[in-house]
Each structure stands twice: as structure tokens, then as C-alpha cells.
Structure 1
Amino acid sequence: MRTIQILKAKVNLLTVDELHREIKRLIETKQKAVVDYLNIYSANIAYEEEWFAKFLNSCSIVLCDGKGVQMGAYFLGQEIPPQIAYNRWLWEFFSFCQTEHYSIFLLGAKPGVVEKSIEVIEEKGYKLSIDGYHGYFNKTNEENEEVVKIINTFCPDILLVGFGMPIQEKWVIENREKLNAKVIILGGAFLDWISGSVKLPPRFVTKFGLEWLYRLILEPRRLAHRYLIGIPQFFMRIFWCRLFGN
């Protein structure tokens, strides 16, 4: 698969159809693959944290999750990767899993959100083998081992993990070898979007790359530093990289 480099992290040049074909190949070859995503926030973490950059670059697939990454690619003179935003793509993904008869385990969010997400998925007419567990458990002791056991008992083709960055990446690093899932997809706040706990932005907001502003308005205290500091910081690093290299 073709990739480009944004600061210290790779991103794959994949359309949705190509992504689904690659996921199918990974499941069939039983490679225990990991799929993650790159946006401005994760690109900044990778720039500052060597372990995080190493993790992203070791993933089988890294998706372009945002206009910011596309703009970064443009300013660096790179090929612009297709954007695959989770809040839109996941419905296509569920259709793909239904067609291929892939089982899915959802992991993350507050207690009750997973159950609501599964309810919404089923109400929309998807017929999937699906289960899940919330993300509010101790990830360092026997409670974590019990969650791993629950996942392995279900033995999903695909495990979707949404703890937020970089917690979800650390958890995968520490537990990947113990998990029976064939493909692990990291999804951040995907369960909040599916369940309706957080409202999706209007399409025009997505079209103009203003999802960050929409989310900032919804959660100003939590996201102010990520966006008001992180976005200018990302583009300063992009321009520095363009002028002087890494």
C-alpha cells in the first residue's frame, strides 16, 4: 500500500473500497493487524512522543482522519490522501461487515453507551454478530484481564477500541498479543457518535473541515488546548518541515 509521511507519522493513501479490501485480506491471512488514524492531534503526539510515532508507523493501516492532514500533505508537496472520517465511514464499514459476515466487538465509552450503540446499529437494520464492553475499567490489573477474557470468549473478527488517544494505543501495545481479534481498529470517540451521546456535526461543517470548531463548542474545557494550541502548532511544524526537513 502506498503511504505518505506527515511529520513523523505515515498515512495510507486508501479509498474506502481499498480499505475494506485490505481489511478483508488481513482477516483472511490472520495477521492480527492494527488500524489507526492520523489527524492533527495524533500527528502532534507522534511529533512529541517517539513511542507513539513508532506505534503508528508499525500499524498495518493508518487512515487520514481530517482536512488538517490533507492540508498538511498539500503544503508538504505530498499526494493528498482520501479522508475517511469515522462518523461517516462506520456505517459503510458495518455494511461491509454484514456482507462478509464478520463479527465485531465494541470496546470503549461510558457504561451504557456500548449497549445504546448496538441498539442504534440494529435499529438501522444491520444484521451483525456484535457485542461490546464499556471502557471504564482498570486497564492495569485483574479487571483488565477479565475484559480481555470477555473479548476472547466472543473471539471477534474485528475489535473496535475507543478510549481516546493515546490511551487506546497504550492499551493495544500492552494487550495485543493476548487478544484473539484478527483486526483491531482504533476509533477514539466513535461510540459517542454512534449512540447519539454526542451529536454529529451538520454536513456543511464536515465539508469545510470545521469539525474541530463544532467539537470545541460542545466541549470547550476539554478540547481548548487540543485545538487552539494544537492546530497552529501543527501547521508551524508542517512549514518548518517544508523549509528545513525533519
Structure 2
Amino acid sequence: MKRIDICGVPVSSTNLTNACQAVDSWIQQKKKSYVCVAPVSTVVDCQRDQDYRKVVLGADMVTPDGMPLVWLAKLSGDKFIQRTYGPDFMQAFCDYGRQKGRRHFLYGGEEKTCQQLINVLKQKFPDIEIVGYYSPPYRPAHFQEEQKVIDQINRSQADVLWVGLGSPKQDFWMVEHRDRLDVPVIVGVGAAFDFIAGIKPQAPKWMQKSGLEWFFRLCSEPKRLWKRYLIGNTLFICYLVKDFFRKRFFVKS
């Protein structure tokens, strides 16, 4: 799969259909893979945390979760890429995978969120196979607790594990645990659990398409998200300018 370099982050040139096909092919091959869903904040965090950068660079697919990444890819000449938004991606594969009997496990979110999410997914996709879920505690888990959950996931024979812990936490979790998991594909989908379950409101489609979802979320959760969007978006612009001059004057063609 083609990648587009955005400030050193290799964003996959993909769309919902292509991403679903890629995940399904890894399941068929039993190829252990993990997918990072990348909004602007992921690109910013990769500039400031080299350990996180390595996690994202090692992903089998880095989907363009934010519209600015799609616009930048298109400016570079990529006509194929489309926004592959976490909640849309999760639901698209639930629909795609049910035709092939793919089995899903949910990891993350509160207990009530997981239960509501399962209800919503079963209403939308009546024959979907959800083989288990786990709502982790907010405190750090002991090794024995983690192993018990890993055993539960492995016994479920899930084909795909959806991790909803938020970035970068979910991305570190996927890399830390993937060798102990028998699940072919692990996908970190951020706040998708809350959005699909209806726990948190999603921005209107016109705001999503216009790249204004960040403003909607900031207004919805200002105390939690002001740093991510007000400071993070400013840093993103600075990193873009720096990356432009690096490529323009210091990288030979």
C-alpha cells in the first residue's frame, strides 16, 4: 500500500473500501497486523515522542483520520486517498466482515459504553459476530489481570480486535500486547466506541467534510481537548512549515 510522508509520518493512501479489503486479507493470511488511525494529533505527537513515532512507523496501515491529512496527500498528487475516519472504518468493516463471518472483540471504554456499542452494532448488522468485550480499569492493570484478558481474547478466536483507548495509549497497547495475542488484526479506533454507541455526539457531516470536526469536539469537551486542538493544531502548522523547507531545500530528488 502506498504511503504519503506527512512530517515524517507515513500515512497510507487508502479509503474505507480499500482499508476493509486490507484488513480482511490479513485475516485470511493470519498475518499479525496492527492499524493506527491517524488524526492531526498523531502527527504532532510523533514529532515530540520518538517512541511513539516508532510505534506508528511500524503499523501495517496508518489511516488518514483527519481531513487535513487527506488535503495534504491530495496536494502531493494522490488522487486515491479518502478520509478513513475511525468510527466509519469500524462500522464499514463490521458490515464487510459479517458477509464472511468475521469475529470481533471489543477492548476499551466503560462497561455501559461497550454494552450500548454491542446493541447498536447488532441493530445495524443483525448477523455480526461479536465474541467478547472487556472494559479495562482506569488504573494500571497487574500482569495477572492482563494475562487473564489476553487469554479471554485468545479463547474467543476473534479475527479482529478493536481497541478504543484513545491515542497514543491504544497504539502503545497494541504493540506491547500483540505478540501475546492470537488475533490476526488489531485496530485502534480512538473515541469510536463512544461515538457509535451514542455516548458522545459526533460533528455534523458537513463539519467533518470541511475539516471542522475539531471545533465541534472542542466545544463539546473544552476542558479535556483544548490543549490537543488549540496548541496541537498550532504545532501542526509549524511542523508543516518546517517539513516544507526541509523537503524543499535539504532533501535531494
**Band of TM-score, shorter chain:** over 0.9
Closer/same/farther in 2, CA of residues 180 and 95 from structure 1, 3 Å limit = same
Q: Does 2:208 match 1:209?
A: no
Instruction: Give the percent of matched residue pairs that are identical in Structure 1 and Structure 2.
Output: 25
In structure 2, stretches of 5+ residues that fail to align are: none
Paired position in structure 1 for 2:163: 161
Does the alignment pair 1:42 with 2:42? yes
Using the TM superposition, name which of 9-18 and 175-184 deviates more. Answer: 9-18
- State the TM-score, normalizing by the size of structure 1: 0.94
Which residue pairs with 1:223 in the alignment? Answer: 225
**Contact kept? 1:108, 1:136, Cα under 8 Å:** no
Return 5+ residue gaps in structure 1 as ranges. none
Distance 2:84 2:201 in 1: 18
Aligned partners of 2:73 and 2:244: how far apart in 1?
Answer: 10
Look up the SS of the partner of 1:105 in the other structure: strand
2-structure distance, mates of 1:173, 1:125: 30
Instruction: Identify if the C-alpha distance between structure 1 residues 103 and 182 changes in structure 2 by more than 3 Å, giving closer, same or farther.
Output: same
Structure-2 residue corresponding to 1:94: 94
Q: Is structure 2 residue 186 aligned with structure 1 residue 187?
A: no
Conserved? CA contact 1:72–1:235, under 8 Å: no
Partners of 1:70 and 1:20 in 2: how far apart?
Answer: 18
Partner of 1:198: 200
Q: Deviations along 1:143-195, whole A, 9 cap, x unmatched?
A: 22221111111120000001111111221222111111110011111110111
Conserved? CA contact 2:103–2:159, under 8 Å = yes
Render the CA deviation track for 1:46-81: whole Å, top value 9, x for unaligned.
Answer: 111111111111111110001121234356x35363
Are positions 1:145 and 2:144 aligned together?
no
In structure 1, the residue matched to 2:9 is: 9
Moved segments of 4+, more than 3 Å: 71-75, 137-140
The alignment of Structure 1 onto Structure 2 pairs a total of residues equal to: 245
- Native 8 Å contact 1:95 1:126 kept in 2: no
Deviation of the 1:139 alpha carbon:
3.4
TM-score (ref. length: structure 2): 0.91
Corresponding residue number in structure 1 for 2:78: 79
User: Which whole-Å CA distance do the structure 2 matches of 1:174 and 1:129 have between them?
Assistant: 26
